[in-house]
Amino acid sequence: MQDSILITGVSSGIGLATAKDLLHRGFRVYGSVRRGAGETQLREHPAFTALQFDVRDREAIRAGIQRIRDDGARLVGLVNNAGVAISGPVETVSEEEYRRQFEVNVYGLVAVCQEALPLLHEAREAGFRARIVNIGSVSGYLTSPFTTIYSASKFAVEALTDGLRRELLPFGIDVISVAPGPVKTPIWRKGREQTAAFENNRYSNMLNKLGPYTEAAEADGVAPEIVAEVIYRALTDERPDPAVLVMKKGWIAKLLRLTPKRFQDKFFTKRLAENRRY
């Protein structure tokens, strides 16, 4: 029987690259999509099964997990990848948007873990490796202005990862955070479809810079395939690092995290003025 991995959000970006990578390496992949049956290349692969669910819909997640159970598959890994990125000033972001940020990135992740864990326990009890990989972000290490709500959700993902790992270690299930810096995916463009926070307001001068700032982040980002390989290692290495930062010049972020907050304030203000993130 092939080892199976469940990945949430395989329609594009890191989730899609990870699904392709794991299929190529011989895993069976269950990938969640919200519309249709998912990307053509995946749909045509005999070892791929699309599960149609939104991570905010508990019943639909449950039906997806039941499909894995009905297939008699051995679930050895869960990659919590689905996420959205809401930007804009905290003062003006709409209630609907800041709630959606947490509903998808945080509560959705908890719901998928709760539903998938019985299958992971079963795999572990049968003597197989069982892992959860949560896709965090450098924004879960440091908070840039105007991506504050997103950052708050990713700090929560780091806390969930550490706490869940400590709860599950007695059962032999490891929980790992893979936290990328900027990656070439459409996530920020999708987030910019929200408008309320960007309407004419007292932050407008700074917000005009935010477009180029996030576009530059996407342009300078690493390829999603690089993140996919790190996820593969997190799922399979004998003793994986429980918190991996995947980022060009990641040492800057690690060092910056140790500096006084006032120094970080100056760093981010200067970077925003220069349309750069890190």
Residues that bind ligand NAP (CB under 6 A): 8-15, 32, 34, 54-56, 81-85, 104, 108, 135, 137, 180, 182-183, 185-187, 190, 221
What is the residue-wise DSSP string for 101-130?
HHIIIIIHHHHHHHHHHHHHHHHHHTT--E
- Residue 107 corresponds to which tokens in the numbers above? 């509560």
Q: Are 27 and 232 in contact (CB under 8 A)?
A: no
Please count the CA atoms within 13 angstroms of the CA of 153 that sit on its side-chain side. 25
Please count the CA atoms within 13 angstroms of the CA of 42 that sit on its side-chain side. 29
Q: How far is the CB of 246 from ligand NAP (least distance, A)?
A: 8
Indicate the residue among 126 and 186 with the shorter CB distance to ligand NAP. 186
Q: How far is the CB of 142 from ligand NAP (least distance, A)?
A: 12
Q: Are 182 and 222 in contact (CB under 8 A)?
A: yes
Q: How far is the CB of 94 from ligand NAP (least distance, A)?
A: 17
**Rounded to 5, what percent of the chain is helix, strand, coil?**
50, 15, 30
Indicate the residue among 13 and 77 with the shorter CB distance to ligand NAP. 13
Q: How far is the CB of 235 from ligand NAP (least distance, A)?
A: 16
Q: Are 83 and 65 in contact (CB under 8 A)?
A: no
Indicate the residue among 73 and 104 with the shorter CB distance to ligand NAP. 104
Indicate the residue among 54 and 115 with the shorter CB distance to ligand NAP. 54
The residue type found at 192 is R
Q: Classify residue 28 as exposed, middle or buried by CB count within 10 Å of its CB (0-12, 13-18, 19+).
A: buried
Which of the following is catalytic: 141, 150, 232, 278? 150
- Dist CA 182 CA 69 (whole Å): 36
Indicate the residue among 189 and 202 with the shorter CB distance to ligand NAP. 189
Q: Is 150 a catalytic residue?
A: yes
Q: How far is the CB of 227 from ligand NAP (least distance, A)?
A: 8
Query: Which residue's CB atom is positioned nearest to ligand NAP?
Result: 13
The residue type found at 236 is T
* Positions marked active-site: 150
